[in-house]
Chain A
Amino acid sequence: MTPSVIAGLLGAALVGLGLYGLILHPHPLRKLLAFNLIGSGVFLVFGIVARRGAAAGLRFDPVPQAMIITGIVVAFAASAVAVALILRLSAVGRRVTLDPEVPTRPDGGDAK
């Protein structure tokens, strides 16, 4: 097993774990952590892409690395927005959950 394959499998495992958490955990904070787990997996895959140097047979391809950094910044900003929303929810004294109070959803279950 080459290091690339191991890293790839690891990335897949992270994405899988994150997906599981995102869909099954009811608490928004846990969903957010799970989203970050998926993000790490995706960035790992990007890293392998960089190592393979797919663009022009380079030994290391810098373009995906630039993308990883941008992606991390974006994911960080996303987490910050989500945390701000969750904090605000708990500040207004409501139980932090995604259950909607509007009685319009016929299925009743949590969508995520």
Chain B
Amino acid sequence: MTELWTTTPGGYLIVLAILLPLAGIILSFTLGGRSAERVALGSTPFGLALACAIALHVGRAGKPIVYVIGALEPPLGIALRADGISAIMLITTAVIVTAAALYARAKFATPDGIRESRSSLIFWIMLQSIWAALIIIFVSGDLFNLYVALELLTFAAVPLVCIDGRPETLVAALRYLLFALFGSICYLLGVALLYGAHGTLDIPLLAQRVQSTPVVWTAAALMTGGLLAKTALFPLHLWLPPAHANAPAAASAVLSSLVVKGSFFLTLRLWFYVLPGLSADQAAMVIGCLGSAAIIAGSVMALRQARLKLLIAYSTVAQIGYLFLVFPLATGAQSWSAMSWSACFMQILAHAFAKAAMFFSAGLLAEALGHDQIARLGGAARVLPLTFLTIALSGLSLMGLPPSGGFSAKWLMLQASIISGQWFWTLPILAGGLLAAGYVYRILAPALSDDRISLKSSPKRSQEVLALGLAMIAIALGFMPQTFSDILEIGRPIAAALP
């Protein structure tokens, strides 16, 4: 087990992956103006290459790669670890950030004749900050380090919400910030309690030391509560729809597909890596029920929205609900837990790509039509066929129709709930699929009618192709080979019952 606390071959890749966007932020900030855009766009391919290199290393070695900062071993030092789930998330993040950067060029390029525009500078810096914070969240092995990364993520995400400065976006941003601050202070209190009880915050060390004591349970409850507020699990979702619906399209895509997954990833780390031995069946049941409620409530709210972007944002609330079914379905070392584990990550990926494609398309529609009222979309599919093809394909994945990533995820979840004897989880999963079909139909039905509609401006073909590409990835995830779930299992502690 000592290999978890010494630097392994390839460990330096993790450091490079973190340093790349950080260097980008500093460069963008100092050079300013047009350079910020160039730095951001130029660094994304390298980030993608680094993420792939890390995944290759992890896959080949079959165990996590580790970098111990300053060769100072935990508990005093901090270790960075990339295991199977980190590798998968790093690649997903790099792909979506790259797509968002390319998509945002149209809106956030510094206009000709101006040396620097405030909103574009902020956008490019914050995009790189979100990327950096997510990478740290995926590879950090220390709970306090993760707290700092979580806060960085919030501070980078909030300005993106209110980047155009309209009063309603400012209110949405402020509300988001207050929810997030509340969440992180709860998390921090939990961290303090854990440190007080066990004298370390290193994840594998802590996993060896924790016992089922009141202190650990209190800490776990506080940390989980805080993270749920940040992940916008029902009923703590109230901040999400206005924040995600008011941000510009490229930012909404990143916020909805990646930023909420950051805090969810941390929740998984907490329960499956720090506290795998805690017999938490009842807690898992409660979280599963909240997830089910999120699926139903989010979908019903999505059905009732008049604005397209709000509909998509409420659909995020619903799709996040599915993720939390992993807690009742994957705890313990049962035969079905690996299946639920893959289902959870398949859902993360499928939602990330489908939702980014949806938000990109919504942005294109709003630009082309000058509004995003669903009732006034009549006939739009005849003039914007590519955009609506994207919406239909990503809708397919959100509903969970085969073949798509969404289908694979929900199919695995259904199987796991039947095998584990927890058949009641099938009800929200199936109902959520039906309701998703309902809200996707609400967008497509008027658009496919015979009405005539005039475009304010025709959309850029490159942006349409980008959105379509992401939707195709969401579909292609349905054909993911078995190696996907093998990679996810790398470095996952097998639950051993604690005394």
Residues of A within 8 A of B (CB): 15, 22, 28, 31-32, 35, 38-39, 42, 45-46, 48-49, 52, 54-56, 61, 63-64, 67, 70-71, 74-75, 77-78, 81-82, 85-86, 88-89, 92, 94, 97-102, 104-106, 111-112
Nearest opposing residue in chain A for B197, CB measure? A54
Docked-complex contact A81 and B177, CB < 8 angstroms: yes
Asked if B207 lies at the interface with its beta carbon under 8 angstroms from chain A, I say no
Asked if B151 lies at the interface with its beta carbon under 8 angstroms from chain A, I say yes
Chain A residues positioned under 8 Å from B197 (CB to CB): 54
Nearest opposing residue in chain B for A62, CB measure? B76
Docked-complex contact B305 and A104, CB < 8 angstroms: yes
Q: When A78-B151, A81-B158, A92-B167 are in contact, do A54 and B199 touch as well, CB less than 8 Å? A: yes
Stretch with Cβ within 8 A of A (4 or more), from B41-49, B235-243, B414-422, B477-485: B235-243
CA distance A33 to B350 in the complex (A): 40
Q: When A42-B185, A46-B192, A88-B165 are in contact, do A70 and B148 touch as well, CB less than 8 Å? A: yes
Per CB-CB distance, the 5 closest pairs between chain A and chain B, nearest first, are: A55-B199, A49-B196, A111-B238, A94-B167, A54-B199
Q: When A46-B192, A88-B170, A111-B239 are in contact, do A67 and B144 touch as well, CB less than 8 Å? A: yes
Chain B residues positioned under 8 Å from A70 (CB to CB): 144, 148
Docked-complex contact B179 and A35, CB < 8 angstroms: no
Nearest opposing residue in chain B for A15, CB measure? B189
Please list 25 pairs of residues, one from A and one from B, whose beta carbons are closer than 8 Å in the complex, sorted by A's number.
A35-B185, A49-B192, A49-B195, A55-B75, A63-B76, A64-B195, A67-B191, A67-B195, A71-B188, A75-B185, A77-B151, A77-B155, A82-B178, A82-B181, A88-B162, A89-B171, A94-B170, A100-B171, A100-B175, A102-B168, A102-B242, A102-B310, A104-B307, A105-B238, A112-B182
Docked-complex contact A92 and B179, CB < 8 angstroms: no
Docked-complex contact A48 and B151, CB < 8 angstroms: no
Docked-complex contact B178 and A112, CB < 8 angstroms: yes
Chain A residues positioned under 8 Å from B182 (CB to CB): 22, 35, 38, 112
Asked if B172 lies at the interface with its beta carbon under 8 angstroms from chain A, I say yes
New A-B pairs, 11, CB < 8 Å, besides A31-B178, A104-B242: A39-B185, A42-B185, A46-B192, A54-B197, A67-B191, A82-B178, A89-B170, A98-B171, A98-B175, A98-B178, A104-B306
In B286-309, the 8 Å CB interface with A consists of 301, 305-307
Asked if B340 lies at the interface with its beta carbon under 8 angstroms from chain A, I say no
The prevalent SS among residues of B at the interface is: helix
Chain B residues positioned under 8 Å from A22 (CB to CB): 178, 182
Docked-complex contact B174 and A112, CB < 8 angstroms: no
Docked-complex contact B177 and A74, CB < 8 angstroms: no
Docked-complex contact B189 and A42, CB < 8 angstroms: yes
Chain A residues positioned under 8 Å from B168 (CB to CB): 100-102
Contact of B174 among A46, A89, A102 (CB under 8 A): A89
Chain B residues positioned under 8 Å from A94 (CB to CB): 167, 170-171
Chain A residues positioned under 8 Å from B154 (CB to CB): 78
CA distance A85 to B243 in the complex (A): 14
CB distance from B78 to the nearest CB of A (A): 11
CB distance from B173 to the nearest CB of A (A): 6
CB distance from B439 to the nearest CB of A (A): 14
Chain B residues positioned under 8 Å from A64 (CB to CB): 192, 195
CB distance from A38 to the nearest CB of B (A): 5
Asked if B120 lies at the interface with its beta carbon under 8 angstroms from chain A, I say no
Chain A residues positioned under 8 Å from B193 (CB to CB): 45
Nearest opposing residue in chain A for B170, CB measure? A89
Chain A residues positioned under 8 Å from B245 (CB to CB): 102
CA distance A71 to B196 in the complex (A): 16
CB distance from A47 to the nearest CB of B (A): 9
Chain A residues positioned under 8 Å from B198 (CB to CB): 54
CB distance from B72 to the nearest CB of A (A): 12
Nearest opposing residue in chain A for B168, CB measure? A101
CA distance A103 to B167 in the complex (A): 15
Asked if B200 lies at the interface with its beta carbon under 8 angstroms from chain A, I say yes
Chain B window 123-145, contacts with chain A (Cβ cutoff 8 Å), 1 for yes, 0 for no: 00000000000000000000010
Docked-complex contact A98 and B195, CB < 8 angstroms: no
Chain A residues positioned under 8 Å from B188 (CB to CB): 42, 71
Chain B residues positioned under 8 Å from A42 (CB to CB): 185, 188-189, 192
Chain A residues positioned under 8 Å from B165 (CB to CB): 88, 92
Chain A residues positioned under 8 Å from B179 (CB to CB): 111-112
CB distance from B426 to the nearest CB of A (A): 28
CB distance from A108 to the nearest CB of B (A): 11
CB distance from B351 to the nearest CB of A (A): 22
CB distance from A39 to the nearest CB of B (A): 6
Q: When A85-B170, A92-B165, A94-B167 are in contact, do A38 and B185 touch as well, CB less than 8 Å? A: yes
Contact of A86 among B75, B174, B192, B242 (CB under 8 A): B174
Contact of A104 among B147, B159, B174, B241 (CB under 8 A): B241
CB distance from B325 to the nearest CB of A (A): 25
CA distance A2 to B455 in the complex (A): 74
Docked-complex contact B177 and A85, CB < 8 angstroms: yes
Contact of B155 among A54, A78, A89 (CB under 8 A): A78
CA distance A32 to B195 in the complex (A): 27
Chain A residues positioned under 8 Å from B171 (CB to CB): 89, 94, 97-101
CB distance from A34 to the nearest CB of B (A): 10
